[in-house]
Structure 1
């Protein structure tokens, strides 16, 4: 049954993926294929919980997550842009590093593995607590409307500003961009670090907004879903939003099925099955368009 609570669940599930995917889209526009979103999201979620637990402030946790994930993303930017290493190899290494490092530090900081939660851990406030009385937004953290707003901002920036058009030139017409004196490496360094900041926000939303805890591997493939969303979007922010909403609908529907008695494993698999199906359908549609063009 489609109701306000279901739509609210869709937005809650969509927000972390959308924030990470916006970072991936920026990188894609600049010609950097960033598949480190999974590791960056997980690292941001971990740091948000650690800082929030130490300071008692969820917003300090968000700031800490953004700053730490920007530094973490420099491990991708440096080798892949400055040293021209294979970005896919570097990104896979970062994903593995984030998975292992968060598990190790969790035991060092919290004294146990698995899942950490505490009554003293500060989560992000709901918009209802801040005076927002819109049913679909009442139980959301402030980062959810921020994610939606960033889609509009990014779409306008990429198409209507000089810097946005230059960034597109760096990714689409590299030789021309270099010929007019654009610092290609500077743009690519910049967007990789900005992508890190967005993944930090995504991680903070996941661990302090969607829930108030950290669990080993809690990104659970959301970074990879974000990569798929970027591939489906054709580097268009509004298409990216639709792709991420598809994942959100699937996850919210999976929770409903689980509540109706479907095994948890089947419900958890629903978003990924639907995302893979969308990727296959997009590939088929792309081939058909190419065949029509050559006909």
Structure 2
């Protein structure tokens, strides 16, 4: 059986779920004008808080609530710094990220010196749909977190694009002075967005520790917070683009996990890489970037056809998702004009 089998698709979906939930929350916050580059620290806070709750209560539902509380705690700190104190959001985000990493490591060593493991979330089958070949096993035989994530993303999309609150959210991120003049509480909308982002990231972190792996390890989120931020930027601050970016990152991560155990690179991997590059070429609006992308695409297609026996080090596979994130950010430079106009800009009402 090849690399791209049902197990691979299930792995990609499991990897995508926490990134998607955290990225959706970050999208809401950024559309309101607040960017938290310390999202990785918020994920870690959620992962540890959920794990710590489980060690004390041994209940997964309460563990997830604990994770959400951990995410909300750091999100509230970000809100105080960015909205109330009005410090530079990038500096504040870096501080949040460092705090989350260091604090969770310290608390883990002092409150849970002996690691405990827990049973991950059980997989639930949707009647009838789970019997559909391939798709049934991949989409309708998953744990509850994945189903809830899909529901939350759909609700978030409806809220952002189909409600008055979503209009207020966009107005706050684009022209806060005009929003304030129209009677919208810029401060209130930004606080709500930041806390929603914190709750989503906290739940995503809890899933990584107690829902998927079953234990907490130092820095176990493995850069998923940064991938979530990259997905928002690569997706041009649109939910549809975010979904495409998360899919690309998750598929790449799932591929590298499978390839670490193989002696040579399977031919179908080059086909997947060619597909991802084709997506990037289609998105690019710069002639030079499209030309370079087309040349890379032809090379990958040739590798997919010729199937050479190549061996690459495991460390290179580990770096694949993050290299791809950098490439995605560079390729998406032309769409920066789509960013909310007031993103990272503090709003001082006296200026209105």
- Please indicate, yes or no, whether the TM-score normalized by the shorter chain is above 0.5: yes
Higher RCO (CA 8 Å, separation ≥ 6 residues): 1
Q: Paired residue for 2:287?
A: none
Q: Paired residue for 2:121?
A: 124
TM-score under structure 1 normalisation? Answer: 0.89
Task: Return the alpha-carbon distance in structure 1 between the equivalents of residues 240 and 9 of structure 2.
Answer: 18
Contact 2:75–2:194 under 8 Å retained in 1: yes
Task: Return the alpha-carbon distance in structure 1 between the equivalents of residues 141 and 211 of structure 2.
Answer: 10
Unaligned runs of 5+ in 1: 290-295
Deviation at 1:253, TM superposition (A): 0.4
Task: Return the alpha-carbon distance in structure 1 between the equivalents of residues 17 and 233 of structure 2.
Answer: 18
- The structure with the largest alpha-carbon Rg is 2
Q: Paired residue for 2:97?
A: 95
Q: Paired residue for 1:278?
A: 328
Q: 1:244 aligns with which of 246, 250, 274?
A: 246
Task: Return the alpha-carbon distance in structure 2 between the equivalents of residues 225 and 168 of structure 1.
Answer: 23
Deviation at 1:124, TM superposition (A): 2.1
Contact 1:58–1:122 under 8 Å retained in 2: no
Q: Paired residue for 1:7?
A: 9
Alignment RMSD, CA only?
2.1
Secondary structure, aligned partner of 2:166? helix
Task: Return the alpha-carbon distance in structure 2 between the equivalents of residues 265 and 141 of structure 1.
Answer: 30
Task: Return the alpha-carbon distance in structure 1 between the equivalents of residues 163 and 208 of structure 2.
Answer: 31
Aligned length: 282
Q: Deviations along 1:192-251, whole A, 9 cap, x unmatched?
A: 111110001110111122211111001111101111111111221121111111110000
Task: Return the alpha-carbon distance in structure 2 between the equivalents of residues 10 and 31 of structure 1.
Answer: 31
Task: Return the alpha-carbon distance in structure 2 between the equivalents of residues 18 and 271 of structure 1.
Answer: 15
Task: Return the alpha-carbon distance in structure 1 between the equivalents of residues 60 and 239 of structure 2.
Answer: 28
Task: Return the alpha-carbon distance in structure 1 between the equivalents of residues 182 and 76 of structure 2.
Answer: 27
Q: 2:192 aligns with which of 190, 193, 202?
A: 190
Unaligned runs of 5+ in 2: 131-135, 264-311, 339-352
Q: Paired residue for 2:180?
A: 178
Secondary structure, aligned partner of 1:127? strand
TM-score under structure 2 normalisation? Answer: 0.75
Task: Return the alpha-carbon distance in structure 2 between the equivalents of residues 124 and 177 of structure 1.
Answer: 43
Task: Return the alpha-carbon distance in structure 1 between the equivalents of residues 140 and 168 of structure 2.
Answer: 39
Deviation at 1:130, TM superposition (A): 9.9
Deviation at 1:122, TM superposition (A): 4.2
